Amino acid sequence: MTVPIQINPNWTNTNWLPSLLDQKLAGVAAARDTYTKTAGNGNIDDTITFHSARDMFLYLPRAIEIGFLSPFPRQWFESGSTSYNTLFRRVSAMEMIITYLSELLLVWGVIKFWRRSEIWVISISSITMIMLYALTITNIGTLYRERWGYMVLLITLGFAILLKSHSQNKTKTKQQIIAKSD
């Protein structure tokens, strides 16, 4: 059963934003309010509510941290509310190590291959959706599952960049060997 989202009556419109965008942000805030009312052991920042676009913008650094780095290493070995949740936390530890590595590769790749439009299209669309989830969902387990499709795109892109760079380095090395032998 879905809970209807009600726009927060305490939302303050932002004059410098187009009204359509401000309304969308109010909807994100309302969705977050719905999640904050849900009790759970994996909740994070569930006391934080947004009353304006400014509140959301000020929360963005924390949302980036939660969206791209959670579950955090300290949570990997905590007990869950059920034995299944405890096992899930252990498995997520391995997945997050791979995720952290691929995120570093992605940052490096964007710097190295910044002219490649496919990197930007995949990165921007995935990052936007992950950030939307991080601003809305206050439960780490739910966020982890909901963002996964977009995170897989970023992980794959990170490793594809590594393979591309490795391939280019092999080609350069072969060319240097051939040039030296001539």
Exposed/middle/buried for residue 148 (C-beta within 10 Å: 0-12, 13-18, 19+):
middle
Q: Look up residue 123 and give its amino acid.
A: S
Q: pTM of the entire structure?
A: 0.80
Domain presence at residue 46: yes
Written as one letter, the residue type at 84 is Y
Mean pLDDT of 66-86: 84
pLDDT at 5: 53
Residue 36 placed within a domain: yes
Question: Span 2-11, mean pLDDT?
Answer: 63
Domain that holds residue 100: 19-174
97 lies in some domain: yes
**What is the 3-state secondary structure of 102-151?**
HHHHHHHHHHHCCCCHHHHHHHHHHHHHHHHHHHHCCEHHHHHHHHHHHH
Quick check: is 128 in a domain?
yes
172 has pLDDT over 70:
no
Mean pLDDT of the chain: 85
What's the total number of domains in the chain? 1
Is 51 within the bounds of a domain?
Answer: yes
In a domain, 77, yes or no: yes
Residue 8 lies in a domain: no
Sign of CA dihedral 32, 36, 38, 44: positive
pLDDT score at 1: 47
Q: Is residue 159 part of a domain?
A: yes
HSE of 26 in the Cβ direction (CA atoms, 13 Å)? Answer: 16
Residue 105's pLDDT band (cuts 50, 70, 90): confident
